[in-house]
Chains A and B, each alone.
Chain A
Amino acid sequence: MILLDTEKAAKLFAKYDVPISGYIVNRVIPKEIALSEHAPNYLRNRYDMQQKYLAKIREAFGNEVQAEVPEMERDIAGLDMIARMAEAMYEGETL
């Protein structure tokens, strides 16, 4: 769904020559947590689903994907969480 919207936006940007610098995938569930022995089922299922869509994303946007940001243990509110988010975003940077 969000994937479809993003593709639509990208086409629109292209039509008006607005450059796109890349894509960021947010809220990726970390593998170690999802596949750990005691992970709740909902998390494992969501992980499986995400992996399916991640494959599609990598296929659609390929090396334009700048970063995959992991899902945090709580929502992003306050400077601490924003700082952690920033770290996660620039960690995988390839520029």
Chain B
Amino acid sequence: MTTPATTQERLSMQGFIDSKPRLKFVFFGGKGGVGKTVLAGAAAVGLAQQGKRVLLASTNPVHSLSGMLNQDVFGKPTPVEGVENLWAYEIDTKDTIERSKQEIREKIEWFLKFADIKGRADEFIETATMNPAFEESAMFENMLDIMFRDEYEMYVFDTAPTANARRLLGMSSVYALWVNKMVQSREEAKQMRLQLSFSKKEEEKDPLMDYLINFRQRMERAKELLTDPELTAFFFVTLPEALPIAVIRRFINWFEEFGIPIGGVIVNMRIDAESVSAEADEFVHNRVKMQAEYMEEIEKLFGPMVRSVLPLYETEVRGVPMLKRLAGQLFA
């Protein structure tokens, strides 16, 4: 292995974890298929084995934890068989989405009435909820709920809601301005209505205002937790291949820009050159050679951020015994 160009101390995964005794929220980001779910599983297993009460949670609309664990963990935190201190939980996003739709419907209907606009809310709701960002927002809300409930010592999330975290943290000052502005103009509108109306009827509840204020509070709290480098770490997973490297380079740039704490880089699916027979097809040798080239690039780009390099196993990673094996290598 070449030595990194910088003098920055190079920490292994275990070294990093040891250096962050208060670490609580762990995320894995990267291109699809690089092993985020499997690494979240291995990290959760490893941390639980080190004595922490850990929740491994998935907010994805299409879940893969149950498949990986060979155990149904859908709908509620479920103790993982064969690992003490570990619970796994696939959150029902459909449910959340239905609930958010209902909430949005109420707000839109209320707003149409408030503004005296004739029309049906349905069209607005359809437009608002067809947006792919809507599903991601629902996932993000679910994640925040779990974080705020604070029932475990550590949380490992399968799949970092990277785009959302970025949006949230990058835009949070804009959000704050926007919400403040909204709150202000709603106050003014209410005053007007009060002055104009002759009937001095009891002041009505204002669900939009409540929502805005609540939303602002949630975002502020989320930002506090997610930008605290003692509490939160995002790990980026790559393969020794061009595209996965390009993806995490971009993520790392965003995250640095917005002050989101980066735990480091994990390289997955490295083919063990020893295991490849000399007579193997050229196809295989070329793959090994390609990986070696990209390992050099990874070293140059990320050097001291690389926490672990994990081998490509002979089969896909499934079941607790295999996750334990992967955890052993991740924390070696």
Chain A residues near B (Cβ < 8 Å)? 1-2, 4-5, 8, 30, 33, 36-43, 45, 49, 73-75, 77
Contact = CB atoms under 8 A, between A and B. Distances in A.
Tell me the dominant secondary structure on chain B's binding face.
Answer: loop
Given A8-B62, A45-B315, A39 B284 contact: yes
Contact of B277 (A33, A40, A73): A40
B242 A43 contact: no
A40 B284 contact: yes
Contact of A5 (B62, B276, B279): B62
Interface of B: 32-33, 62, 64, 241-243, 271, 275-277, 279-284, 286-287, 290, 312-316
B124 to A, nearest CB: 17
Nearest to B241: A75
Contacts, number: 53
Given A40-B277, A42-B315, A45-B314, 16 more contacts: A33-B281, A33-B283, A36-B280, A38-B277, A39-B280, A39-B284, A40-B271, A40-B284, A41-B275, A42-B313, A45-B315, A73-B290, A74-B290, A75-B241, A75-B243, A77-B242
Given A45-B314, A45-B315, A74-B290, A39 B281 contact: yes
Contacts of B271: 40, 42
Contact of A1 (B64, B286, B287): B64
Given A1-B64, A4-B62, A42-B271, A73 B282 contact: yes
A9 to B, nearest CB: 11
A8 B283 CA distance: 34
A39 B315 CA distance: 14
